[in-house]
Amino acid sequence: MFAALLDTCVLWPSLQRDFLLSLAVEGLYRPVWSSAILAELEYEEAAKWVRRGADKHEAACRASRLISRMRMAFDDAEVSGWEALDGTYGLPDPDDEHVVAAAFVAGAGVIVTHNLKHFPNDGLPEGIAVLTPSQVRREHRRTQSCSCVGCH
| Any domain includes 87 | yes
Residue 40 has pLDDT above 80, yes or no: yes
| Any domain includes 151 | no
| Any domain includes 45 | yes
Phi, psi (degrees; rounded to nearest 5) at 99: -65, -50
| Any domain includes 149 | no
Residue 125 · residue 143 · CB < 8 Å: no
| Any domain includes 152 | no
| Any domain includes 99 | yes
CA–CA separation, 95 and 41 (whole Å): 14
Helices 56-73 & 35-51, crossing angle to 10 degrees?
Answer: 140
By residue range, what is the domain housing residue 44? 3-143
CATH of the domain at 89: 3.40.50.1010
| Any domain includes 98 | yes
What number of CA atoms fall less than 13 Å from residue 135's CA on the CB side? 12
pLDDT band at 36 (very low <50, low <70, confident <90, very high): very high
Q: How many domains does the chain have?
A: 1
Instruction: Note the pTM of the prediction, 2 decimals.
Output: 0.91
| Any domain includes 80 | yes
pLDDT band at 66 (very low <50, low <70, confident <90, very high): very high
Average pLDDT for residues 126-141, to the nearest whole number? Answer: 90
Average pLDDT for residues 125-140, to the nearest whole number? Answer: 91
